[in-house]
Structure 1
Amino acid sequence: MARIYSKRQAPHLAPPLVLILIYAGLIVLGCAALKLPFATTTPITWSDAAFTATSAVTVTGLAVVDTGSAFTLFGQAVVMLLIQLGGLGLMTFAVLILSMFGLPVGFTHRLYLREDLNQTSATDLLALTRMILKVVFICEFVGAALLASVFVPEAGWGEGLWQALFHSVSAFNNAGFALFPDSLSKWVGNPIINLTIPALYILGGLGFTVASDIWRVRRWHRFSLHTKLMLVGTIALLIWSALAFGIMEWTNPGTLGSLSWSDRLWASWFQGATTRTAGFNTVEIGNLTDGTSLMFMTLMVIGAGSTSTGGGIKVTTFIVLLLATVAFFRQRSSIQVFGRELGLDQVMKVLALSIISVLLILCALFALLLCHEGDFLDLAFETTSAFGTVGLSRGITGDFDGAGRAIIMAVMFVGRVGPLTLGFLLATRRPRRIGYPAGTVYLG
């Protein structure tokens, strides 16, 4: 008599959960690699290695040790690899490797890739992935070539080329890691630095779907609504942030006040552009006025574009919030923009993402205030920078103890991979079984 064995099925994990586990695993591997004796010039603690790995994978740029002096060439290469994998997404590279070996990409892998790229459909993902990789490597190669014209004459061919490549990768992925203790302050008035670095992180911050649209369509009237909103929103935020920074800091001796007239203009452009995503700086962030710091915190919360290498609630989320407010005061039940209409479901998603983001920042800031003594503005700035995966700091990152570092690491991680989970939950629709009569709540 034949026996019938029950076949246990492997537990099914949602794609966002798998990606979160993969990102966490990459942080663990990066931490172990950075703790190797030949990865550092002097021994660092496990806390230093874990914080650096988390900051690199989440493309934040906050650092507790100086990347250029604390790590050897191997350690710097590990940091750069973590930035590249964390910025573009592990699934993008996985699909590339499978394609190189001629292996098929199954439906499950397409689901994971869809979540990693924040797409609503699993179709055409392979073409999008290949286009992403082409754009990325072309941009990083051109950026490294331009930066080499600055670094090679100063550091020599070997060191100069490495510095150019590292900063090109770090800039395009909006990481903000630099090999110099004062970031890029040495080149505050250098035109090549002030044009190349911002161009890289602006392109990386627009988002892969926007890059795909521009690459394939190349005509404004045929662009998708998302692409139009991203381009208009990005340009508007760049102009506003650069002008506002220049006006508020023009006479501040700690930032622009001590620079020449031309250097002030370059610094205003660079710092205004880098605030939402990248984390590089050419002036001392700790010397900013309170008003400028508050503006920076607002920009860091807004962040970059969806499916980009940057963080934050995203530019399109901010735009939809503004449009919904305008529609409310005009007593409209929907949002009209660029000949398209956004319904209530889009507004609900935007509200959910925004509220969760604000609550996360407030809870993390409250926890930091309980376990770490420091200036309120400094802690608030650091928390917002960690959530937006920006990397700008008022100089207190190295002062945190173990609990403070753990909080900042958690905020960086959630700021990078949290939207994946939230997007999955918002995209999952469950039919209502019970309906209730409409009610009225008095607001305001």
Structure 2
Amino acid sequence: MIMRQLAHFKFFDTLSKKMVAGFIILILIGTVLLSLPWATPANVHTSLIDVLFTSASATCITGLTVVNTAAHWTTFGQLVILVLSEVGALGYMTFAVLLFNIMRRQIGLSTQLMVKASLNLERLSDTKSVMKYVVGLSLLFQLGGLGLLAIDFVPRFGWRHGLYVSLYHAVMSFCNAGFDVFGDSLQGFRNDPYVLTVTMILIIAGGLGFLVWRDVLLYHTRKRLTLNSKLTLLTTFSLFVIGFVLLLITERDLELLPTGMSWVNRTINTLFLSVTPRTAGLITMPTQGLQAGSLLVIMILMFVGGTPGSTAGGIKTTTFGVLMFQSIAQLRGRRDVEFSHRRFSQENINRALMLIFLASIVLTVATLILTQTEKIPKGFGLEYVLFEVLSAFGTVGLSLGLTPNLTLIGKIVIMMLMFIGRVGIFTSLYALSRRQARVNLIRYPAENILIG
């Protein structure tokens, strides 16, 4: 039994290192491609750190940029960012398995284990079936988004450019990446409820998770949903509704928008503002003009993020949901944490608590460093830095204006946060640590201390 546990710890360390190494290699490949002369217009120079930052942001599907994507990069450079975001969102192991299938080669056990870890699967037997849903649903949503957006963009921009921006926007929305080729995100479409609605559908679809989509699509045959899917759907819907209501209150029906805007468009823009912090990063209004209460709501939504096994970041909806039910159970004096006639395991609860604690430590250290290295403009306070830190960790891409003005140290800190947010805090820390796997053979007597 002990030898089996030691082998498990050793394997998990090796797997974490491989996953981290894979993302680092992908970022470096993107850096090389974006450094090529035809990635930027003639006579436009991009420093190495800015190229690396852009590649990391695309691979980690964040969308934070130190340069304007539409103006600074050529079509080639924009397509490199698009491919990096696609691979980063679905996981490089997904494309490796797809290549194996095209070549009709058998997938080895180690490859299946890598896919299992990258998609946060519980059972190894889910690997092949979930892979079909990952590839199929990704194509379905992105091609569907391309077609729906083309209805609006082609008449507006012409066939060639209209199809290009439709493809770009569909991929970035589904991948929750946040890059745009308009120059000002979606601020030019705040009076276009059709584009905003299609975008919201793509964002939610990408952030919901492939396991949840599989359960939903198979519901007609199974007649049930897994506990993970039920918790995900409940938490996602609750955060969406609560975020929408709070933003309606704090923004006073988006009074910062032009006075002539209809209530329908104001409602759609508020809905969009509630959806986009869930790691999408697209925006229809300048974040600098939002009220302090709205910024707080958005920061909470960015911290929670999307669903495990999806294109989203953050601590994930399931973590938040487990801790909410844990708190309710404790307040009611119940020993077990129950949901939908099931009981959460103590291991799940401990893992959620540990994730929250580690994430808080990482965010606190990053915020402290940035307060010492970055200049906070007049009119802003700590939220100017904390907003950026949460946006990077949650792989969101929203900004109050700090990212384009980051110092060298600031760029390194934000890149590390984006990486941790995408790869996962557990995977990142396990890969970086040099601890020896140990199993305690002695357990000391338990004793209570004062809490609270």
TM-score by length of 1: 0.93
Q: Which residue of 2 aligns with 1:439?
A: 447
In the alignment, residue 450 of structure 2 is paired with which amino acid?
Answer: Y
> What is the CA–CA distance in structure 1 between the aligned matches of 2:156 and 2:350, rounded to whole Å?
53
Measure how far apart 1:238 and its partner are. 1.0
Q: What CA distance in whole angstroms lies between the structure 2 residues aligned with 1:288 and 1:191?
A: 20
Q: Aligned partners of 1:220 and 1:319: how far apart in 2?
A: 24
Given that 2:61 and 2:176 are in contact with CA atoms closer than 8 Å, whether structure 1 keeps it comes out as: yes
The alpha-carbon distance between structure 1 residues 201 and 420, as it changes in their structure 2 partners (threshold 3 A), is farther
Q: Secondary structure of 2:338's match?
A: strand
Q: Equivalent of 1:388, from 381, 390, 394? A: 394
Return the structure number with greater relative CO, CA threshold 8 A, min gap 6: 2
- Per-residue deviation, 1:224: 0.1
In the TM superposition, what is the alpha-carbon distance from 1:378 to its structure 2 partner? 0.9
Contact kept, 8 Å, 1:256 with 1:264, in 2: the verdict is no
Is the Cα contact below 8 Å between 1:146 and 1:192 reproduced in 2?
no
d(CA) in 1 for partners of 2:349, 2:430:
16
Corresponding position of 2:298:
296
Distance in 2 between residues matched to 1:313 and 1:186, nearest whole Å = 31
Cα pair 1:91 1:112 within 8 Å, conserved = yes
1:68 alignment partner in structure 2:
70
Give the partner amino acid of 1:392.
L
Contact 2:359 2:425 in 1 (8 A): no
Equivalent residue, structure 1, for 2:106: 104
CA contact (8 A) 1:204 1:308 kept: yes
How far does the alpha carbon of each residue in 1:368-415 deviate from its partner, in whole angstroms, 9 at most, with x for none?
Answer: 011112142111100010000000111221111111111111111111
Structure 1 residues 400 and 67: alpha-carbon distance in aligned structure 2, compared to 1, 3 A threshold: same
2:32 corresponding residue in structure 1: 32
Task: Give yes or no for contact 1:250–1:264 (8 Å, CA) kept in 2.
Answer: no
Matched, 1:232 2:240: no
- Structure 1 residue aligned with 2:412: 406
CA contact (8 A) 2:253 2:267 kept: no
Report what 2:22 is aligned to.
22
Partners of 2:264 and 2:419 in 1: CA distance: 38
Q: Which moved more, 1:363-372 or 1:327-336?
A: 327-336
Greater alpha carbon shift after TM alignment, 254-263 vs 139-148: 254-263
CA contact (8 A) 2:253 2:266 kept: no
Q: 2 CA distance for matches of 1:420 and 1:153?
A: 47
Which residue of 1 is the match for residue 331 of structure 2? Answer: 329
CA distance in structure 2 between the aligned counterparts of 1:168 and 1:79, rounded to whole angstroms: 14
Bigger Cα displacement from structure 2, 385-394 vs 414-423: 414-423
1:275 is aligned to 277
- CA displacement, residues 20-41 of structure 1 (integer Å, 9 cap, x when unaligned): 1010111011011111110112
SS in 1 for 2:424: helix
User: In the superposition, relative to structure 1, how do residues 420 and 150 fare at CA in structure 2: closer, same or farther (>3 Å)?
Assistant: farther
Say if 1:246 and 1:264, in contact at 8 Å, map to a contact too.
Answer: no
Moved more, 187-196 or 382-391: 187-196
Do the aligned partners of residues 399 and 220 (structure 1) sit closer, same or farther apart at CA in structure 2, a change above 3 Å counting?
Answer: farther
How many Å separate the matches in 2 of 1:92 and 1:254?
43
Q: Tell me, in whole angstroms, the C-alpha distance in 2 between the residues paired with 1:424 and 1:120.
A: 19
Q: Which runs of 4+ in 1 moved over 3 A?
A: 218-221, 251-260, 422-425, 428-432
Q: How far is 1:327 from its partner? A: 0.9
Task: Using the TM superposition, give the Cα deviation of residue 258 of structure 1 relative to its aligned residue in structure 2, in angstroms.
Answer: 6.7
**C-alpha deviation, 1:87, in angstroms:** 0.3
Equivalent residues of 1:255, 1:287 under 8 A apart:
no
Mind listing any 5+ residue stretches in structure 2 that lack a counterpart?
1-9
Q: RMSD across aligned C-alpha pairs, in angstroms?
A: 2.0
Aligned-pair distance for 1:330?
Answer: 1.5
Which stretch of the first structure deviates more once superposed, 100-109 or 234-243? 234-243
- More displaced stretch, 406-415 vs 13-22: 13-22
Contact 1:96 1:130 in 2 (8 A): no
Q: 1:4 maps to which residue?
A: none
Letter in structure 1 aligned against 2:447: G
Amino acid at match of 1:17: K
State the SS of the aligned residue for 1:222. Answer: coil
Instruction: Return the match for 1:344 from 343, 346, 361.
Output: 346
Letter paired with 2:395: T
For the residues of structure 2 that align with 1:345 and 1:430, how far apart are their CA atoms?
A: 18
Q: Percent identity?
A: 34
Give secondary structure in 2 for the equivalent of 1:234: helix
Query: 8 Å contact 2:211–2:309 — kept in the other structure?
Result: yes
| 76-85 vs 47-56, greater mean Cα deviation | 47-56
Q: In the superposition, relative to structure 1, how do residues 52 and 258 fare at CA in structure 2: closer, same or farther (>3 Å)? A: farther
2:3 corresponds in structure 1 to none
- Measure, in 1, the Cα distance between the counterparts of 2:257 and 2:281: 16
Q: Does the CA contact (< 8 Å) of 1:115 and 1:424 recur in 2?
A: no
Greater shift in the superposed pair: 153-162 or 249-258: 249-258
Q: Distance in 1 between matches of 2:148 and 2:168?
A: 13
Mapped partners of 1:443, 1:401: distance in 2: 41
Question: What letter matches 2:79 in structure 1?
Answer: A
| Cα distance in 2 between the residues matched to 1:121 and 1:256 | 52
Q: Please say if residues 116 and 420 of structure 1, whose CA atoms lie closer than 8 Å, have aligned partners that are also in contact.
A: no
The answer on whether the counterparts of 1:80 and 1:166 sit within 8 Å (CA) in structure 2 is yes
Q: 1:326 to 1:211 in 2, by over 3 A?
A: same
Indicate conservation of the 8 Å contact 2:392/2:418, yes or no: yes
CA distance in 2, matches of 1:384, 1:336: 30
What corresponds to 1:142 in structure 2?
Answer: 144
Cα deviations across residues 109-168 of structure 1 (Å, max 9, x unaligned)? 111111111123221301210121000001000001111111111211111101000110
- For 2:51, the aligned partner's letter is A
Paired residue type of 2:137: V
1:368 paired with 2:370, answer yes
- CA shift, 1:256, in A, is 6.8
| Aligned-pair CA distance for 1:417 | 0.7
> Post-superposition shift, 1:237?
1.1
d(CA) in 1 for partners of 2:405, 2:257:
23
Distance 1:200 1:142, change over 3 A: same
Residue among 78, 81, 89 paired with 1:87: 89
- Offset of 1:218 from its aligned partner? 3.8
1:220–1:390 CA distance, 2 compared to 1 (3 A):
farther
Q: How has the CA–CA distance of structure 1 residues 55 and 442 changed in structure 2, closer, same or farther, with 3 Å as cutoff?
A: same
- State the AA in 1 paired with 2:335: S
